[in-house]
Structure formats: structure tokens, C-alpha cells
């Protein structure tokens, strides 16, 4: 009878909880406000209209020794990343971030200097991406955690996961696998080429949300996007499931940094397919729109596959000879496992 959430999996649990909260709420009829939910549970951010504006909201949490470790990150890096991953969600909707609320769960023995450094990192990221810290909450907790709630706005339309169409090309900004390669360098304390090592560590510790790029996608007519946080295959499967489509990814088209090839030559493809935390934008659109995107953006954009009719959520990877590749469990089963969003 009884089952724990590890057995059921994150995805199964979310589905069950969703059923409970989708019971209709009749909003207070005594007010004349016009707030309407446009997109609820299941995308990078929730979306509602408020008066003439469209607002976005997302929240992400980092737990010590699950999502970060102070043994290999500075508190300033942790602060940057805690806000950056939320801004990435707003970027994936084509929005502009506005206000962030910070919740800290802290053991009483936490050093004051550590929290000042954490806030410096948060503020550094806020200044870089025009986001204002508006307050939050501070609670005592045996486990250290940082939760950020972030609002954003859009000029009207927004990117979502559920709009992919058959024949769309699948594209991605920047490179894949660099962050997880950086995490491996950090965890295994590998001594390698110094410049490569620094680049990969930075990719993991200081992700750069694709904020301008998300807005450009929206302006050029792209409708479908999400950010790559759990790994390309796992995230593309979610996008396909939301759109009721399947997808083929061409392994030889994957954008992989030369630093990754040099550092992990035999595992580069695996890192790009399953490595997570790249915070690049994964998007789909007809070829002619993607051509415009490639022309307009100053960063690299790679076409890596196509959207097809088929089993919803199914992602197939083929090599240059069109042979199916076997995916390791990090791909297909990823979001049926209860685990942190890191390798």
C-alpha cells in the first residue's frame, strides 16, 4: 500500500499532486481586478495576465550537498547560480526578470561572512540581469537551502514547451556538456590543462542565462522553448511530451566545446546528451525562422534534430550514419528518478 517518493519518482508525484490543486477556484467576485492564469504547473514559469500586462513567475531551490557544496564553490558563486538558474527560466519564456525574493534555510552556526558573500553573488547576478532583490524569509534549518522566487514580464506572447510542431527543427544556443564536464573536474579534482579547466569550472559555477537571446527568439517568431537544466535528452523529452510529439537528435550536430573534447574525449557525446545544468535555450521552429535566429544572434546556434509525429515524449538519438544510439539511463529515465538536477 504505502510507497515512498523515490519509488514513485518525481514525475509521478507531480502528476498526482497536480490533480489535487487543479480544482477550480472562483476568484473573489467582490474585486474588479482582472488576473487570469494563462499557464500553470508544468512549464519553466507560470504565466498570468494582470490588467494589460503579462507576468511570469518561477521558483528554484538549491540545497547544500545536493545542488552545491561549499567544498568546491565559493558562497559568491553559489549566490550567483541561485539567482541565475531562476533568470534562465524567465529567459526560456522570452521574458524580462523583475523582482526576486530570497528564502534562506540556515543552521544557527552559519557564518555571517558566508551569508554576506552569498548575497554579494546574488546581487552581482541581479545587477548583471536587471533584477531587484525585494526581500524574503530567513528560517532555522539543519540543512542549508536557498530558494528564490522570481517574477518577470513579457511584451505579450511568451515561449512555452507545448507548441512544437511536426517538421520543426530543434536548435540550441551555445554548447552542451560544459557544465557537467566542469562538475566532474571539480568533484574528481582533476589536474588538467589550466585554461580548459577554468573554462569548464566556470561553466558549472557561473551559468550565464540566455536572457537577451530568449527575447530575440520570441521577437523572431519562435514559439517553443525551454532551458537545458536536467540534460538535453531529459529536457527535450519533457518538451516533446508537452507538445505530444517525438524527436530525433543528430549526435554529430551536438555543439560541444573544444575544452570538453580535449578533457573527456570518449565521454563528450554523453555529457552533451545527459549532462544538465547548461542553462542554454533549447527551442524548436520551422527552418526559415531558425535561419533568422542564427543570423540575428551573436552567439552560436546549432540545429541538432527535428520534431516528428510519434510516441509523445520519445527522443531518439542517431549517429552520422543514421544508426540509433543507445542512451544511458541518464537520458530516458532521468525524470522518473528521484534525484537532484545534477549529474
Q: Rule CB under 8 A: which of 101-130 touch a copy of itself?
A: 101, 103, 105-106, 108-113, 115-116, 119-120, 122-123, 126-127, 130
Nearest-Å Rg of the Cα atoms of the chain is 20
Q: How far is the CB of 151 from a copy of itself (least distance, A)?
A: 7
By CB under 8 A, residue 74 contacts a copy of itself: no
**Residue number, 27 or 324, with CB nearest to a copy of itself:** 27
Q: Which is nearer to a copy of itself, 196 or 235 (CB)?
A: 235
Alpha-carbon gap, residue 185 to 187, rounded angstroms:
6
Question: Could you say which of 70, 75, 84, 135 contacts a copy of itself (CB under 8 A)?
Answer: 135
CB of 227 to a copy of itself, least distance (A): 14
User: What x-and-dash track marks residues 4-23 binding a copy of itself by CB under 8 A?
Assistant: xxxxx-x--xx-xx--xx-x
Site for a copy of itself in 21-60 (CB under 8 A): 21, 23, 25-28, 31-33, 35, 37, 40-43, 46, 48, 50-53, 55, 57-60
Q: Residue 305: beta bridge partners?
A: 170, 249
Closest of 106, 116, 247, 88 to residue 173, by C-alpha: 88
142 lies in the site for a copy of itself, by CB under 8 A: yes
Residue environment code for 68-102, b if the CB has 16+ CB neighbours within 10 A, otherwise e: beeeebebbbbbbbbbbbbbbbbbbbbbbbbebeb
Quote the cell numbers at residue 330.
541518464
Q: Out of 72, 74, 141, 251, which residue is the one contacting a copy of itself (CB under 8 A)?
A: 141
* Closer to a copy of itself by Cβ: residue 110 or 251: 110
Q: Which residues contact 100 (CB under 8 A, 6 or more apart)?
A: 83, 86, 122, 126, 131, 132, 133, 134, 148, 149, 150, 151
Amino acid at each position: 500500500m504505502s510507497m515512498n517518493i523515490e519509488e514513485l519518482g518525481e514525475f509521478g508525484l507531480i502528476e498526482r499532486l497536480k490533480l489535487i490543486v487543479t480544482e477550480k477556484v472562483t476568484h473573489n467576485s467582490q474585486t474588479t481586478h482582472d488576473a487570469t492564469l494563462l499557464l500553470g504547473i508544468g512549464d519553466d514559469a507560470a504565466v498570468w495576465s494582470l490588467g494589460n500586462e503579462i507576468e511570469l513567475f518561477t521558483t528554484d531551490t538549491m540545497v547544500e550537498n545536493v545542488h552545491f557544496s561549499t567544498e568546491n564553490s565559493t558562497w559568491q558563486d553559489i549566490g550567483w547560480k541561485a539567482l541565475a538558474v531562476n533568470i534562465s527560466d524567465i529567459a526560456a519564456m522570452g521574458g524580462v526578470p523583475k523582482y526576486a525574493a530570497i528564502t534562506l534555510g540556515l543552521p544557527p552556526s552559519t557564518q555571517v561572512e558566508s551569508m554576506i558573500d552569498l548575497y554579494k553573488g546574488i546581487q552581482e547576478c541581479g545587477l548583471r540581469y536587471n533584477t531587484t532583490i525585494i526581500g524574503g524569509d530567513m528560517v532555522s534549518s539543519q540543512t542549508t537551502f536557498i530558494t528564490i522566487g522570481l517574477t518577470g514580464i513579457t511584451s505579450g506572447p511568451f515561449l512555452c514547451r507545448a507548441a512544437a510542431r511536426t517538421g520543426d527543427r530543434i536548435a540550441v544556443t551555445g554548447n552542451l556538456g560544459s557544465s557537467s564536464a566542469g562538475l566532474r573536474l571539480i568533484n574528481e579534482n582533476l589536474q588538467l590543462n589550466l585554461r580548459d579547466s577554468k573554462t569548464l569550472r566556470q561553466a558549472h559555477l557561473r551559468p550565464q542565462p540566455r536572457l537577451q537571446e530568449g527575447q530575440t527568439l520570441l521577437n523572431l517568431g519562435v514559439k517553443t522553448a525551454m532551458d537545458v537544466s536536467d540534460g538535453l535528452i531529459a529536457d527535450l523529452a519533457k518538451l516533446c511530451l508537452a507538445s505530444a510529439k517525438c524527436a530525433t537528435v543528430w549526435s554529430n550536430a551536438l555543439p560541444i566545446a573544444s575544452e570538453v573534447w580535449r578533457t573527456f574525449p570518449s565521454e563528450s557525446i554523453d555529457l552533451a546528451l545527459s549532462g544538465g545544468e547548461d542553462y542554454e535555450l533549447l527551442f524548436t521552429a520551422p527552418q526559415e525562422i531558425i535561419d533568422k535566429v542564427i543570423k540575428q544572434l551573436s552567439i552560436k546556434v546549432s540545429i541538432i534534430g527535428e520534431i516528428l509525429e510519434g510516441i509523445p515524449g520519445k527522443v531518439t538519438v542517431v549517429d552520422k550514419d543514421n544508426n540509433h544510439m543507445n542512451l544511458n539511463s541518464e537520458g530516458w529515465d532521468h525524470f522518473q528518478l528521484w534525484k537532484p538536477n545534477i549529474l
